[in-house]
Amino acid sequence: MANIFLGSDHAGFGLKKEIIDLLQSMSLSVLDMGCDSETISVDYPLYARKVVEAVLANSENRGILICGTGLGMSVAANRFPGIRAALCQELYTAKMSRLHNDANILVMGGRIVGSGLGREIVRVWLSTPFEGGRHQERLNIIDSWHPDPKDHL
């Protein structure tokens, strides 16, 4: 894994800071793409796009997006071909999003997921490999719909 890019809106700011602390303690390369405050309301799609562009720049990169529920960030990120953003609010979907879907962006809800659970979700998501095989065949079908993701940035 090359880099992990994080982005949040104001509602996800607190959980994002917790996750950054975790990732740094794991000696991973972490880049915070904003926002910078929980007190100033911001538009989540702008931060989703920053993380999406960073993830698409290198297939080894991964991203983590956090807004209030995770729904907005999921919708925004998944508008881009080549992005497989998975909204995970518990451990099972975090594991399966990597195992079967090769998710390259993890999305969580800062108003839904507490810091302890959020940290565990990230640990599971980062440590679960993609299984490949029949799952890769399914991803190939999806990718065939838009062959060059960079055409859509």
Residues with catalytic roles: 67, 100
Identify which of 8, 94, 93 has the alpha carbon closest to the alpha carbon of residue 44: 8
Non-local CB neighbours of 27 within 8 Å, separated by 6+ positions:
none
Beta bridge partners of 107: 65, 87
Identity of residue 93: T
SS3 84: coil
Rounded CA-CA distance 130/43 in Å is 32
Identity of residue 108: M
Identify which of 14, 52, 13, 18 has the alpha carbon closest to the alpha carbon of residue 34: 13
